[in-house]
Amino acid sequence: MCVSYPEAFATHYERWAADMTDDIPFYVALAQEADGPVVELAVGTGRVAIPVARAIDRKVIGIDSSPAMLDQARQAGGDLLDLRLADMRTLELDEPAALVYCPYRALLHLPAWADRRLLFERVSEALLPGGRFAWNAFAFDHQIAARLDGERQAEPIPHTLRYSVGESRVDIALDSGDTSSLWWATKNEWLGLIEVAGLEVEALYGWFDRRPFDDDSREFVWVTRTPTP
C-alpha cells in the first residue's frame, strides 16, 4: 500500500498546518542535543526542518514521497536541507543518524502494522547507538469522532471528516473528491512497534511542552532511542 497523502493536499499544506506551531521548538530542542546527522521523515514543505536546520547550523536530511511537497521545501529553504524523494519505509542513510523525527502525525498515513513495523525497523537500523527516534500522533477520542463525523468544515479549506472506527481510520475528503486517510494507533500498539524494532522508550508526553501523558491527553509525543552498549 502507498502512503495516503494525495498530491492535491500538498497545495494547501501550509493552511492545514497553520495551527500547529508548538511542535517546532520541541523538535528543535531534540536536534540541538543530537551529535550527528538529523533526519526528518515526511519533511513536507520544510515547516519544521528549516527552523531545525537554522538552530543547529547544519543541513537536515529531509525525506518525502511527494514531489510537490519537496518543491515547496526547496523554494522555502533548499540550501538548508538535503532533500530526498523517497518512501520513508525504505529509509537508507549514508551514515548513521543521531536523530530521526517525524512530525505532524505523518506516521498515521501508513495504513498497516506491517508498514509501520518496516519503518520502525529501518529507523532503528539507521540510528547511532543511543540515537533518538521521535514522533507525534493524535490519541483517538470517541467523543471527538462522534462530534466531527460527517460534518463539513470550511477551515482551513472545505472538507469533511468521515470516521471508520472498525478500521481505525479517518478520511479527510476535500470538496474536489480528493481524500487523505489517517490510521490511528493505541498506546499499546505504539509500544509494540517500539519493542519489535529494538528501541527503548525515553519519554512519552501528552504535548510538546513535555507535560506527562495521562488519560486526558489527546496527543502522543514519543521519544525513543536505540540501546547504548
Tell me the domains of the chain and their CATH numbers.
Answer: 6-140+185-225 (3.40.50.150)
Which pLDDT score is estimated for 160? 96
Cα distances (angstroms) measured from residue 185 to each of 34, 68, 123: 28, 28, 19
- What is the pLDDT, as a whole number, of residue 19? 81
Residues of the chain with pLDDT under 50: 1-2
| Cell numbers standing for residue 116 | 509501520
pLDDT at residue 6, rounded to an integer: 63
Measured in residues, the chain has a length of 229
pLDDT at 2: 45
| Bridge partners of residue 225, in order along the sequence | 132, 200
The pLDDT of residue 10? 75
Instruction: State the Cα–Cα distance between residues 70 and 66, nearest whole angstrom.
Output: 6
Cell of 125: 537500523
| Alpha-carbon dihedral angle through residues 19, 21, 27, 29, given to the nearest 10 degrees | -160
Alpha helices in the chain (DSSP H): 7-10, 13-16, 23-32, 49-56, 67-77, 113-126, 142-148, 187-196
Output the CA torsion sign for 93, 96, 102, 107: positive
C-alpha cell at 205: 508526553
pLDDT at 1: 38
Which residue has 526547496 as its cell numbers?
A: 74
Specify the pLDDT at position 105: 95
